[in-house]
Structure 1
Amino acid sequence: MSSAKPPRKKLVAPQRAQTKQKPATRKAPARKRKPARAPRRGNPVTRFFRAALSFLWRIIWGVAWRGAAMVGLILALATFYFYSTLPPLADMLDDRAQGSVTMMDRHGEVFAWRGETFGGVITASTVSPHLKNAIVATEDRRFYRHFGVSPRGIAGAIRANLSEGRGAFSGAGGSTITQQVAKLLCLGVPYDPETWESEADYESDCRRGTLWRKIKELPYAFALEAKFSKNDILTIYMNRAFLGAGARGFEAAAQRYFSRSANEVGPAEGAMLAGLLVAPSYYAPTRNLERAQQRAAVVVELMHDQGYLDAHEYAEARDHPATLSERAEEQQGIAFADWLMLESPAYLARETTEDVIMRTTFDPRLQAATETAVSEVFANKVRDGSEAEVAVVVMSADGAVRAMVGGREAQVGGFNRAVQAVRQTGSAFKPFLFAAALENGFQPFDIVEDAPLTINTPGSGPWSPRNYDGEFRGFVTMSEALAESLNTPAVRISEAMGRDRVREVANAFGLRSDLAEGPALALGASESNLLDMTAAYAGILNGGSAVRAYGIEELKLLGDSTPLFGVSSGIGERVISETSAQMLTWMMSRVLEDGTGRRARLPERQAAGKTGTTQAARDAWFIGFTADYVAGVWMGNDDNTPLTGVTGGGLPAEIWHETMLRVHENLPIRPLPMTAPERPRQVEEPRAPAPQQPRTAPLDDAIRGILGTLFGGN
């Protein structure tokens, strides 16, 4: 039986009702849900420290920006304050508390300076561009680009200081030129003599590189930059900088070292001047030219690297470094200038607040002659290693000092033995004893005994003078006693006349130190310096009048035409008659011809003088003169120990001889103003000659009686 399957239904998708749909309305965008917070990770301790650091940072940041704002405000206020106190530019170029002394020789040429010399105002617009570029290249290469302070320079300086084991602000400072100007101006603090012991102490404090001073420099530097142009700041720097050898400012330094204006120097000279800024005294070319040239070579290299010198200028400056001018190289008259500073009133020399001009008696030719003579004798006739010192003075008959050597090594402010060494004079004193004798009636050919002598001095006991060689010559003339520098005849004459008379004459000739009271007065037991002794001998040369040594002919203030004072001669009152002076000159000429001063004798030129050697040869002297000049020489040790093998008739006489030969070059020969006495006639016996007895010239009867009574003289 079959059964039929029902028919399959056709699968058809149900048809959607065809209904009219409304336009869809725009729904507001759904809010973006925050992602669910991740579950906290880490332990509670970590979370605590994170939170603490975050809180701390917020505090630090808040304090920092507020602090920075406060510092900025304080800096701005400080800058404004300094800005308001800055004086005009012209008042900032020369603010020296003390002035300077400029000394000119007898021909009107400058030969020495003392104090801090200001050569005159220069400006950045008129100064030599080579000098200007050298300063910028070596001191502050970014000078025209920064605003007064260079953070890069300061950081580099701190790093260099720390790497070399110094303090952060010790050594290199990284200061810009503007900051250095702030130092030179001492941050506006003026010099007060009641606060500071000296201007040097004041400036030293101004240059201290402490952290606090560095901080104060910032607003001052900003104020300078705000008030002045870069060229104005450079102008202040060039006029205020100290550059060694007493030169304040580049104009003074250029004049001092090169004898030309800072407006005219070339690349090599500009480099040497700029090189002084780092250490003025150390690199001063007058102190060590080679060292100054080495420093200048570094500056020349910097100028070339920074484009200030082309290849040709660079090669020229490198291969031909700057040298000192002839005047600066000689450095003549150091002892002479020091003497004038000591002798002049303090308010016109050492403590002057003005710039002083002195026209002096100094003669550079004679100074060179003297220095050459001393050098030659010490080089050829003094043993190596000797510490013996020397002093020499050359003057005219009226006391005008022409040359002075104060020691073997000339040094400004050093010990000047021609003036400051007060020593026993020895037999160099004897001409004043014989001057008194001639004035009191003695004659050159009068006879006096050279024999043992003992004098009892109250309080001192017996005293017996002896001659240098220990020998006695019997009866001698006064002229022979002086020529051979015999001691016992000198004492006999002194005692016969009276010591007071000898002392009176010596004082009148200018030997005013405390003269010995005992009989040793006649032998130069008193002390004096070489300058006074030489001036006293000048009194003999000029005819018997006292002489005061002088070195200033005229003194005035810079810019004034009227001198404050002047001196034309040092001749004073008459001490002995002209006849006595000329007779004494003849007696002293015999010292060189026949006596102890033979080594000083000058060929074809008359000269007179006297040797002197003190006890144990601690001092050796030779002082003498020609018709033109008087010269004195002293030798000795600074510690007053005895000399070895030196007497007044030895090395001092040779130095005098060499000095006078050079001093008198090309001078006409003039005779000495002297009178040769008449020799007493010898009485001839009619019978065979017997042993000749010494004869006496006609002495004053009273004096002859005293001599006979006291000393047994005939």
Structure 2
Amino acid sequence: MNPYENDNPFGGTSPKLRGLSRLIKILAGLTFFAAILGFVGAIGIYIYFSQDLPQINTLKDYNPSIVSEVYSADGTKIGEFWKECRYLLPFNEIPKKIIEAFVASEDARFFEHRGVDFASIIRAFIKNVRAGRIVQGASTITQQIARSFFLSPERTFTRKIKEAILATQIEKNLNKEDILFLYLNQIFLGNRAYGIDAAARNYFQKNIEELNLAEISLIAGLPSAPTLYSPINNMTLAREQQASVLQRMVDEGYITEKEAQEALNTPLVIFKAGTDKDFNYKYAPYFTEQVRRIVIEKYGEDFLYKKGLRIYTTADLPMIQAAQRALKQGLEEVSKLRGFKKPLASLKPDESEAFIQKTHEEILDETGILYFPEDSRPKNLPTPVTEDRLYKAIITDIQDNLWHVMVGHVYGVIPQKDRRWIWQKLSKGDVIWVRKKGMYSPNVARFSLEKIPEIEGALYALEPDTGKVRVMVGGYDFKRSEFNRVLQAHRQPGSSFKPIIYAAALDKGYSPSTIVTDSPVTFQVGDNEYWTPKNYGGSFRGPITVKTALTHSVNVAAAKVLHDIGMDYALAYARKLGLQSEIYPYLSTALGASDTTLGEMTEAYAVFADEGRHHTPFLIRLIIDQEGSVIERFSASETISEKAEDNKENEPPENEKTTIPDNEEMNRELLEKGLAFIKEKNLNLTNDELKILYGARIPPHHVITPQTAFVMTSLLKNVVDHGTGYRAKALNRPAAGKTGTTNDETDALFIGYTPQLIAGVWVGFDELKKIGKGMTGGIIAAPIWLDFMQVALEKKPVKDFKVPEGVDVTQLETIAGGSAILEARKELPDVMSAGQQESSPDRSVDFLYEDTSEL
């Protein structure tokens, strides 16, 4: 029945119906008009905001900042460099469960929408209105990519429009796999991690395929607020996010309720990630820092920090660890010789427990290990104390000649032999530095009393026959000082410079048996300036052989030899061996007055060790980019460091003394490399001196003859067997070397070698300060060298130095250098005084009254 049939007895349409019909038509028209306006407005907005949008085709050439990694010779990763810690992971290597976790958590309709999910926008709007605040976002994964790559993070209406436009464009140009590849590699996930591969490494120290569901769900809960939700910063919020991700995975059918609950109940071990420098510190910090400098100097900073390089080096990690240990403990022993001042603190009985617990917590925190959730942390965790560092300890008791100490929760004792360097009496409650030295008994650790040294040191080692740098330790502690004392510290080498002078003398006709009179002499070194070199202890030996003079590091003899062979000749000889530092033309140079670096001094000795060849040292073997292409390959080079310039620059200086002998008399390759230096310093060299320095007697790819190198090695072996380097004799294999000590014992050195390895050690303060009376190179540097070499060579066969062809070892005492063309020097005429040389005024005023030798 029509409900309106009685309203109009005369028939026709009811006025109410006509009014309603008109209203409907009006509303329909308005709706249509609004739709047209909305459509036109949307097109206008799209056109307006699309005008200045970036081109998304750059996404197809995705080239993000990736970690560059450094490897030792055995393939161990020892360093990394990055601005953003990211490892690029191909899509086919991303585990399926990770994709499901991120899609469920961030964009459940990802595989259905085309960039913008309007259903999610409406759903999020309703939830946010009901909550009265923003509790859910509606950005799709594609929108997040648009924001991450092209837009700023500011929350504005304009940015959201641009984000939506870009998202639709991205979906038109990339497939879903490409979008997920970009998203999962680009996204920041806290704990210094960019991308899921870095997150797996940083949070769990695992490869991506090793992650379990609990770990995956924890990472997948981070994108919306990675710093806030990181378990490193807030365990509670991280736990809530993990539970939310697992529930969403259940809702989407990716996992079961049982799997979700098992994951939620799985305790996790989480690691707090450090910077790239923190990682490098664990292994070979000075070595990797030098690698960094080399790569940046050649290729630029962005190339190293963003291109994902793999840098394979010559570093021998076990050797480096042995060197670090030897240097640290050696410097600590030197520091002990300077005495004990006072304990770090003296605590009252009621303060001891708090100190012990605080120390325990600090040592645990240094490991960077966290337990998730917090209540999963094991009870009574032991304090992780190792033998490779110092710890603060508190003395808990003193009895039976034992000091009882606690390092955190580790109980131990200090026997008298491990603290005999201290004469003061300490008390219960005193806080001291200790080092673990094994176990005193099954449940009691053994410690030694230590002190952190102010003194510094360096240790440098390379293979003499290849130039491969195996060890570079530039100081006591890289965190304390990044200054690399192997390469950056220009210090006087002291008597370790004498072998360079004696090698030059051998090639001028000297032999080990040449007589030099050790007697007082005074040299005029400038206008009204005179220098009288003195020996250690002030005594003189009279006529002695060159062998004796070098073995016992006799200063006066070295000065007389340099005066005899000529300063300009000696300077050219030193440069030929690879010394690049400024060597001053002063007689005190014979005693090591000119500043050099430990690196170049060690490299010069390597010439003696490798039969007269000089290999340019190198740290990097191979550089490969992220695609596997070789960027550069390095290998041993049998040339001196200084490169030859063009022919014009290598013309000899114009003076009456220096002329170039005939081609057949010269080693032209060697000569060309020396001419630039001769011209730069305006050296006056005779025809014979040029033949000695650069003559044809020197074989190709050598800087001195094998004969000269062998005679020098025999002399330096005698220094180890019978002279100032006698502590190195305990190596119990053929070794050669020389000590060095400077004025007031401010610097102490020992440079020594075997056929397989050469190492140099320097000890001293960064400022010119006396180490201590009697602190010579033989006393404090040689023991460090010995401790290192014993470990470095323990798996290498015992080898002696090769005898060059034509050398009769039975006549070794009378053999001169292989380049000698002058009359053999049986004896150097004695002089009581000598006039000023032509070279220049001497900087030796610092040496007028000070001795620069050693025992």
The two structures have a TM-score, normalised by structure 1, of: 0.67
In structure 2, the partner of 1:317 is: 267
Q: Following the alignment from structure 2 to structure 1, what is the Cα–Cα distance between the partners of residues 733 and 485?
A: 29
Equivalent in 334, 338, 342 of residue 289 of structure 2: 338
Query: CA contact under 8 A between 1:122 and 1:251: conserved in structure 2?
Result: no
Q: Following the alignment from structure 1 to structure 2, what is the Cα–Cα distance between the partners of residues 466 and 271?
A: 76
Query: CA contact under 8 A between 1:424 and 1:619: conserved in structure 2?
Result: yes
Change (3 A) 1:680 1:584: closer
Q: Following the alignment from structure 1 to structure 2, what is the Cα–Cα distance between the partners of residues 608 and 323?
A: 47
One-letter code aligned to 2:568: D
In structure 1, the partner of 2:718 is: 590
Please say if 1:497 is aligned against 2:565: yes
Shift of 1:259: 7.4
Q: Following the alignment from structure 1 to structure 2, what is the Cα–Cα distance between the partners of residues 295 and 661?
A: 46
Change (3 A) 1:334 1:480: same
Equivalent positions of 1:186-197 (< 5 A) are: 186-187=150-151
Please say if 1:305 is aligned against 2:207: no
Q: Following the alignment from structure 1 to structure 2, what is the Cα–Cα distance between the partners of residues 635 and 152?
A: 72
Equivalent positions of 1:387-402 (< 5 A) are: 387-398=454-465, 399-402=467-470
One-letter code aligned to 1:332: Y
In structure 2, the partner of 1:549 is: 617
Change (3 A) 1:364 1:81: same
2:724 is paired with a residue of what secondary structure? Answer: coil
In structure 1, the partner of 2:94 is: 126
In structure 1, the partner of 2:750 is: 622
Equivalent positions of 1:284-683 (< 5 A) are: 294-295=232-233, 301-306=239-244, 308=246, 310-318=260-268, 320-321=269-270, 331-344=282-295, 346-348=297-299, 350-352=301-303, 355-383=308-336, 384-398=451-465, 399-410=467-478, 414-459=482-527, 461-559=529-627, 564-570=632-638, 573-644=701-772, 646-673=775-802
In structure 1, the partner of 2:431 is: none
2:267 is paired with a residue of what secondary structure? Answer: helix
Shift of 1:355: 4.9
CA RMSD of superposed structures (Å): 5.0
* 1:258-313 per-position Cα deviation (integer Å, ceiling 9, x unaligned): 77643443467658978998999x99xxxxxxxx9845956762454325384543
Change (3 A) 1:271 1:114: farther
Q: Following the alignment from structure 1 to structure 2, what is the Cα–Cα distance between the partners of residues 474 and 451?
A: 6
Query: CA contact under 8 A between 1:611 and 1:622: conserved in structure 2?
Result: yes
Shift of 1:494: 0.6
Change (3 A) 1:180 1:632: farther
1:527 is paired with a residue of what secondary structure? Answer: coil
One-letter code aligned to 2:782: A
Shift of 1:631: 0.8
Change (3 A) 1:659 1:305: same
Shift of 1:239: 1.8
Q: Following the alignment from structure 2 to structure 1, what is the Cα–Cα distance between the partners of residues 334 and 223?
A: 43
Q: Following the alignment from structure 1 to structure 2, what is the Cα–Cα distance between the partners of residues 266 and 653?
A: 53
In structure 2, the partner of 1:106 is: 73
One-letter code aligned to 1:629: L
Gaps of 5+ in 1: 1-67, 161-172, 188-205, 284-291, 682-698
Shift of 1:605: 1.2
* 1:576-612 per-position Cα deviation (integer Å, ceiling 9, x unaligned): 3222211211211222222222333334212111112
Q: Following the alignment from structure 2 to structure 1, what is the Cα–Cα distance between the partners of residues 190 and 757?
A: 36
1:495 is paired with a residue of what secondary structure? Answer: helix
**218-227 or 662-671: bigger deviation:** 218-227
Query: CA contact under 8 A between 2:462 and 2:469: conserved in structure 1?
Result: yes
Shift of 1:664: 1.0
Change (3 A) 1:507 1:323: same
Shift of 1:624: 0.8
Query: CA contact under 8 A between 2:201 and 2:208: conserved in structure 1?
Result: yes
Q: Following the alignment from structure 1 to structure 2, what is the Cα–Cα distance between the partners of residues 72 and 253?
A: 40
Shift of 1:397: 1.2
In structure 1, the partner of 2:63 is: 94
**626-635 or 75-84: bigger deviation:** 75-84
Change (3 A) 1:314 1:245: closer
One-letter code aligned to 1:313: A
Gaps of 5+ in 2: 1-37, 111-116, 247-258, 337-450, 641-700, 815-821, 836-855
* 1:457-490 per-position Cα deviation (integer Å, ceiling 9, x unaligned): 1257112223344444444332222222221111
Change (3 A) 1:255 1:311: closer
* 1:505-535 per-position Cα deviation (integer Å, ceiling 9, x unaligned): 2111100221111111111122222222221
Shift of 1:328: 6.5
Shift of 1:545: 2.1
Q: Following the alignment from structure 1 to structure 2, what is the Cα–Cα distance between the partners of residues 604 and 633?
A: 19
One-letter code aligned to 2:289: D
Please say if 1:262 is aligned against 2:204: no
Query: CA contact under 8 A between 2:193 and 2:202: conserved in structure 1?
Result: yes
**118-127 or 538-547: bigger deviation:** 118-127
Q: Following the alignment from structure 2 to structure 1, what is the Cα–Cα distance between the partners of residues 488 and 103?
A: 42
Shift of 1:340: 2.9
One-letter code aligned to 2:736: A
Shift of 1:548: 1.5
Shift of 1:238: 3.1
Change (3 A) 1:307 1:612: same
2:568 is paired with a residue of what secondary structure? Answer: helix
Q: Following the alignment from structure 2 to structure 1, what is the Cα–Cα distance between the partners of residues 212 and 240?
A: 16
Q: Following the alignment from structure 1 to structure 2, what is the Cα–Cα distance between the partners of residues 150 and 412?
A: 52
**603-612 or 622-631: bigger deviation:** 603-612
In structure 2, the partner of 1:53 is: none
One-letter code aligned to 1:119: Y
Q: Following the alignment from structure 1 to structure 2, what is the Cα–Cα distance between the partners of residues 412 and 251?
A: 32
Change (3 A) 1:704 1:564: same
Query: CA contact under 8 A between 2:463 and 2:757: conserved in structure 1?
Result: yes
Q: Following the alignment from structure 2 to structure 1, what is the Cα–Cα distance between the partners of residues 46 and 717?
A: 83
Query: CA contact under 8 A between 1:585 and 1:673: conserved in structure 2?
Result: no
Q: Following the alignment from structure 2 to structure 1, what is the Cα–Cα distance between the partners of residues 224 and 497?
A: 53
Q: Following the alignment from structure 2 to structure 1, what is the Cα–Cα distance between the partners of residues 550 and 791?
A: 27
Shift of 1:232: 6.6
Shift of 1:141: 12
Q: Following the alignment from structure 2 to structure 1, what is the Cα–Cα distance between the partners of residues 776 and 597?
A: 18
Query: CA contact under 8 A between 1:435 and 1:584: conserved in structure 2?
Result: yes
Q: Following the alignment from structure 1 to structure 2, what is the Cα–Cα distance between the partners of residues 467 and 613?
A: 12
Q: Following the alignment from structure 2 to structure 1, what is the Cα–Cα distance between the partners of residues 122 and 823?
A: 91
**572-581 or 253-262: bigger deviation:** 253-262
In structure 2, the partner of 1:221 is: 163
Please say if 1:239 is aligned against 2:189: no
Q: Following the alignment from structure 1 to structure 2, what is the Cα–Cα distance between the partners of residues 379 and 529?
A: 23
Q: Following the alignment from structure 1 to structure 2, what is the Cα–Cα distance between the partners of residues 661 and 312?
A: 53
Query: CA contact under 8 A between 1:240 and 1:249: conserved in structure 2?
Result: yes
**177-186 or 144-153: bigger deviation:** 144-153
Change (3 A) 1:102 1:445: same
Change (3 A) 1:80 1:369: same
Q: Following the alignment from structure 2 to structure 1, what is the Cα–Cα distance between the partners of residues 479 and 225?
A: 19
Change (3 A) 1:84 1:387: closer
Q: Following the alignment from structure 1 to structure 2, what is the Cα–Cα distance between the partners of residues 249 and 580?
A: 59
Equivalent in 131, 149, 152 of residue 185 of structure 1: 149
1:601 is paired with a residue of what secondary structure? Answer: helix
Shift of 1:248: 5.5
